[in-house]
Every structure is written in structure tokens, then in C-alpha cells.
Structure 1
Amino acid sequence: MTTTPPPPARLALYGFHRGDNGIGRIMCNLANGVAAHGVAVDVLVSHPDSADLALLSDTVRVVALGAHRGADATDRLAGYLRRERPTVLLGNREWGNRQAIAARRRAGRPVRLAFRVGSPPSASLARRHWPNRAWHRARLIRTYRQADHVIAISHGVAADLRAVTGVPAQRLAILRNPSVAPDIDQQMRAPLPGHADRTRPLLLAAGRLVGAKDFATLLHAFARLRRHRNARLAILGEGPLRGELTALAQHLGIADDLVLPGFVTQPAAWMARSALFVVSSRFEGGPNVLIEALACGIPAVSTDCPHGPREILDHGRWGRLVPVGDAAALADAMTATLDAPPPAATLRAAMAPYRAETAARAYIEALRLCP
């Protein structure tokens, strides 16, 4: 009697994040890392027009569903589930998670659903007005009850998620982001035309130009530092507060020392030319750019915001932590780190768990995709 072997494991990534942030890059690292371990990987997109998709290896298949949201998108996702029968569908965004639940029901296939949570849900709830906040929390609870696996990117996000949604501990895993691409050394050597000034140290920050990143406090801290040190500051990212930040830099007298290059797909080239990386955020989930900077051997300082920097910096072991919104403390930490930076090799070694190949293996084991 011949036994039919089980079909090979297949992971489908849904809710691919387009836009001026680093989440798409992280998901590409995850897809490449999982595929490198012998698991088939599909990246599901509405339209294959994201620049980040160019980062995918040839072993990863991009599936264009041709619809973004609504009933048509749910139908097309259900059709994919019926046709391809992936082992696990990994959702990366709240709307995508809800569509995945509806599509699985419509497809009638026993695909396991995994939902990845990259930021504390309490932060998104806090931005909503009552009673919309209560309604949204109830929807989150309903959504996560139907997941087979829930993945939090840090212990802080996991604790926040449990408090908000009550997701059972047995379905919750805390997995490192695959933040460090295998070719990060090659990325560090990429040229930066027009930004070759090596006469002054470059301080670097990165993120959406929005209030949560609190780049205003960073500008105030940098202005303090500039009183006694000749340095430059670059903030990689784009967003609605560009005009306000430019005006504040003019007011503080540091406009000539500030560079706002916009969104950068691969920031390692900037990091390699920096003397210090700075996180000034009010809250985070697990800032990938902080991990990347440390993996490049660049010293860092960060606000002690919820949730992520304290965990990444090992309670201050790999970089100084300062109170949120305290420009004076941030300036002092920046100065002290520039004066006595930790060894680059030590920082790179500390970020080994975040390397794509290592983090991807943890995903494979948690999702039971072992080939």
C-alpha cells in the first residue's frame, strides 16, 4: 500500500505594507529567510507595484490578487486559498486579518491563520474617540479570538496585546523581527552621492515624519548639542510634519545642519556613514531601524518609550535610554555616546537574533512549517 506524502509546507503573506516606511522591507526579509529554509512562500499583493518587492529572492512567488479591500478582495483571497491551499496565511495588518477570516470561511479550507502585531494596540485605541474606541476594541477581541497563531514582535507588545484583547498565552508567540538582511554589509557600501561630507560627524534618525516619532524633541536636543559640537543631523523618512520640522529647524538655527532626504528603501548606507543613531519616539513596537543601526555597528541612544527600545538595547546595555520628550537628557546622552561609543563588533554581535536567517527559523518553528 502506497502512502501519499503530505503536500509541502507553504506560507502565504497577506497585508503586504506599501508606503514610506520599513515594514515592507521587513516582510521581504521574512519571506526570503523562510524560503531559504526550504518552505514555499507566496507574497499576496493587490498589485505588484511596490518598490520593496524588488528585494524578494527568486524563490519567493508574488501573487497579484488584483483587489485591495472589500468584497472583491475577499473573494479573490478565498479563491487563492481554495486553489493553493497554503499551510499558514500570515496577516500583517488589521484590515487584512479581518479579510483573512472572512476568506477562510468562504473558501471552506482548513488553512491556519497567523496574525503578526508590530505595534501596541493600546496606542491605536488611544487615538480614537469614545465610543468608537470601545467598538474598535471589541472588534480586535473578535478578530484575535479566531487566529490560530498570534505573533508579537516584542515582550512589551505582547503584554499590551494580552491586556487589550485577552488573547490566550498558548496562541501567542514573541518573535524577533527579521530586521537585518543577509546582504547588510553590501548595503552599507552603497554610495551616497551628494552626502560625502566627512568633516563633521553625522547623527541619524529615521521614521515617518509624524507626531509619534517626536522629531521635534530631537531637533531641540540637536540644537543643544550644536552649541558645543560641530555636527550634522539627517532624518530619513517622509510624512505630514515635514513643513513643521523644517520651520522648527529654521527657528532653532540648525536648518543648515539638517538634511531631510525623504523615504530611503535601504538605510544601511546612511548608517554606515553615521556616528550615532537616535530614536526620539513617544511609542514604538520594535523599531527596526534601531536594530539595523546597531547591526551596522553604529552606536545608538533612544527614548525609553513603550515598547521595544528597552528590550532591543537590553535595558541600556547596548545604548543609553532617556525619558520621552526630554530634549536636555537626549542631548546629554547623544554627547556622551559620541565621546565614548561602544565597540562596533559588540553591537553587531548583540543583534544576531534579528538577522533574517535566524528570525525566519523562529517563525518556521512557531508556525509549525518545518520542511
Structure 2
Amino acid sequence: MKKIAIFLPDLRAGGAEKVALLLSNEFVQKGCAVDVILCTAHGEFLSELDTRINVVDLKSPRLRNAFFPLLRYLKAERPDVLLALMWPLTLLAVTAFKFAKLPGRVVVSDHTTFSQAPLLKKKSTRIFFKLSLPMVYSFANARLAVSEGVANDLATLGNIKRSSITVLHNPVSSDTMRFTKEQNEESWQGFSGKKIVAVGALKWEKDYPTLLKAFALLLKKENAYLSIVGQGTLLSELEAIAEQLGIRKQVNFAGFSTMPSAWMASADLLVLSSSCEGFGNVIVESLDVGTAVVSTDCKSGPREILCDGKYGKLVPVGDVDALAQAMVESLNEQHDMDALKLRAAKFSVDKIAKQYLEVFR
């Protein structure tokens, strides 16, 4: 494989962006030349790219303005593979690749359960999605989804054959770095009770209000502290909810972290309270450091990762009481750390990158 180009909007902190970062770095390690093509070259993960990766800035904040810059890049650089992440960027990539008349392969990868995505709540967008997907995706050399749930949802909503979609799970990189004792005490403010962490952007899909309400119930039975690692527009709203529940002093809104696995390694429990997920990277990251998991059983991702609850507890979406009870039970159970780590190893970046390279070939 001579050159792989990976196309996405930017490298802000997000699940698909983290996948692009890990795959790009791993492809370079495996001897490939890699270009990361961004509509705008900014984001927290930009500085974490391997220095051998060429970053291409299309300087197109608006998606509709990115087509011709992308087409010029493709004609000039002629990559062997163009991997596009996230609809509707995938539509742009396939169209530009075909216009460039390149002999290589264009691959699209979707990370969202579209039937539940805010993006498709608008009727006109939903209609455009249903019309564009079968027409444009038929020209892609491969169609990928990050979970069985995403693949099934994509096939149903997009009216394309399920057999034409390949499931490649998201990769997770084992982070050998850990908090020092001093960092641990500082991050948890010297707290000696049960430590619970949630990781993800502060947006509605993560359903942090349900987590905060469940945590308030848990505090009636346990001495615990909750750290929410992530940033987003809902910060002030979530702080207000914590204040109303009388738990503000037991909740730390920690902001964005480049090392979320370090938080997980120093916690007793990771909780995912999402109403919808494409995959659920943080679950695998938590298993990788041997930390127990409680997750909502949303439409795709968590159940697949946790093997129907074998490696962590699953609760109904939005069920405050069930989430609180599962958290209490998990905090008071013994967990087989080695088994959790072995499960996470199934999603290692080395293994997943090899699967991508097979698709590219």
C-alpha cells in the first residue's frame, strides 16, 4: 500500500476523530504513507498525529465548499485509497474520487446510528439521506460500519443491502501512561471513597442528566465522587442540575483530557449513560485498564462490546433507578481485571488496522 488518504472535517475531540488519529498513526507504523485531509486543520488531536503524516488543509469550513479543493488534491496526489469518515462527508469523497478517475479504492465508514441522530431529525435532511445514500454509496469500493447496530440501521434507513456493509469495530490504543500518585490525588481531590468516571462530550446524546440523577441516588448508599471528563455546550446546564440535586460538591466537571484512560485506571467504575452510540470507544478503553463498566443498553455498541452483559452491566436507556442500582452493585462486586483486559485486546489498534488494510487491498 503506497498512500492512504483519510478525509474528515477536522480533528476535534470525538469518537470518529480519535479513530482517524489511531488508524493514521498505525498505518504509518506499518510502512504506509498517510495524508490526513481536513476541511479545516484544527482540533485537539491534531498535535497527536505522527510527524510523518502529511496534513492537508482544504480551508473549507463549509462542507459544500470542500469539493473542488478535495478534487484538486486527488488529481495531484493520486492516493491509492481514500477513506472517508462520517456522512455527509462520505458522499463528497465518493463523488470527488470518481470525478478524479483514480484507479484506487474509495472507502466510506459510518460511526452513527442515524435513526437516532440529531442530524436527521430535520425532515429535509432525512429525505436527502435516504435518497443520496443508495445512489452514491453504490460507487464506493467498500462500505464500513463500526458496529452491527450501525450496519443494520444504515441498511434499513439508507435502503442499501446489509450484505454490502462490512463491520470493522473501532480500534483502541493501550495507553501505558498512568497518573502518578500525586496526579491521582489532585485529580480526585484527595477523595478516598468510591471513584466513578464518565468520559465523553457534554452533549445530549450522552444523557448526563440521567447519570447525575442516578448518582444522587447512589450517594444515599455509597460515599462516592463522580468525575465527568469532557467538554461541550451543556456544561452550565449540567452544573445547574448537579446544584439542584444537591450533589455539586461530589461532581467534578473535569473538561477535556488527552488521556482519558488514565482517569479510568484511577477510578473504580466507568459509567456510560448515552441514549445512543455508534460504538462506545470509552467502554473498550475502560476494559483495557481493567476498570469495571456500567452502560446503558442503547441501540448499538455497548451490548456488542460487553458481550450481552458478560463484561459489564447493561441497563435500559434513561432509567435512573436501574442505573443507580447497577452502579451500586458494580462498586461492591469483585471484577476479573484480566478478563476485562483480554476482551479489550480484541479491539487493539494493531488488529483493527490490519483489518482495514485488508479492506483497502
What's the counterpart of residue 177 of structure 2?
Answer: 186
- RMSD of equivalent CA atoms: 2.1
Q: 1:243 aligns with which of 236, 246, 266?
A: 236
2:184 and 2:266 in contact (8 A); partners too: no
Q: What is the distance in 2 between the residues matched to 1:341 and 1:319?
A: 12
Are positions 1:359 and 2:352 aligned together?
Answer: yes
Deviations 1:282-327 (A, max 9, x none): 1111011111111111100111111110001000000011111111
Partner SS, residue 185 of structure 1: coil
Partner SS, residue 259 of structure 2: coil
What TM-score, normalized by structure 1, do the two folds share?
0.90
Q: Which amino acid aligns with 1:286?
A: F
Q: 2:89 aligns with which of 83, 96, 101?
A: 96
Query: C-alpha displacement at 1:208, in angstroms?
Result: 1.9
Aligned length: 359
C-alpha distance 102-261 of structure 1, shift in aligned 2 (>3 A): same
Query: C-alpha displacement at 1:72, in angstroms?
Result: 5.0
2:8 and 2:38 in contact (8 A); partners too: yes
Q: What is the distance in 2 between the residues matched to 1:316 and 1:297?
A: 16
Are positions 1:199 and 2:192 aligned together?
Answer: yes
What's the counterpart of residue 310 of structure 2?
Answer: 317
Query: C-alpha displacement at 1:93, in angstroms?
Result: 2.0
Q: What is the distance in 2 between the residues matched to 1:338 and 1:28?
A: 33
2:13 and 2:44 in contact (8 A); partners too: no
Correspondence 1:321-360 to 2 at 5 A: 321-360=314-353
Q: What is the distance in 1 between the residues matched to 2:269 and 2:311?
A: 13
1:204 and 1:276 in contact (8 A); partners too: yes
Which stretch shifts more, 219-228 or 10-19? 10-19
Q: What is the distance in 1 between the residues matched to 2:237 and 2:214?
A: 16
Q: What is the distance in 1 between the residues matched to 2:37 and 2:306?
A: 33
Q: Which amino acid aligns with 2:309?
A: G
Q: What is the distance in 1 between the residues matched to 2:47 and 2:185?
A: 22
What's the counterpart of residue 21 of structure 2?
Answer: 28
Are positions 1:77 and 2:73 aligned together?
Answer: no
Q: What is the distance in 2 between the residues matched to 1:143 and 1:85?
A: 21
C-alpha distance 193-110 of structure 1, shift in aligned 2 (>3 A): farther
1:34 and 1:41 in contact (8 A); partners too: yes
Deviations 1:100-154 (A, max 9, x none): 1332243232332111111112123784243543233212332322221111111
Gapped regions of structure 2 (runs ≥ 5): none
What's the counterpart of residue 308 of structure 1?
Answer: 301
Partner SS, residue 236 of structure 2: helix
What's the counterpart of residue 166 of structure 2?
Answer: 173
Query: C-alpha displacement at 1:40, in angstroms?
Result: 2.0
C-alpha distance 132-81 of structure 1, shift in aligned 2 (>3 A): closer
Which stretch shifts more, 111-120 or 127-136? 127-136
Deviations 1:251-278 (A, max 9, x none): 1111100010122222112111111000
What's the counterpart of residue 101 of structure 2?
Answer: 108
1:118 and 1:157 in contact (8 A); partners too: yes
2:134 and 2:159 in contact (8 A); partners too: yes
Q: What is the distance in 1 between the residues matched to 2:103 and 2:62?
A: 22
Which stretch shifts more, 244-253 or 117-126? 117-126
What TM-score, normalized by structure 2, do the two folds share?
0.92
Q: 1:253 aligns with which of 243, 246, 250?
A: 246
Partner SS, residue 94 of structure 1: coil
Q: What is the distance in 1 between the residues matched to 2:17 and 2:178?
A: 17
Q: Which amino acid aligns with 1:203?
A: I
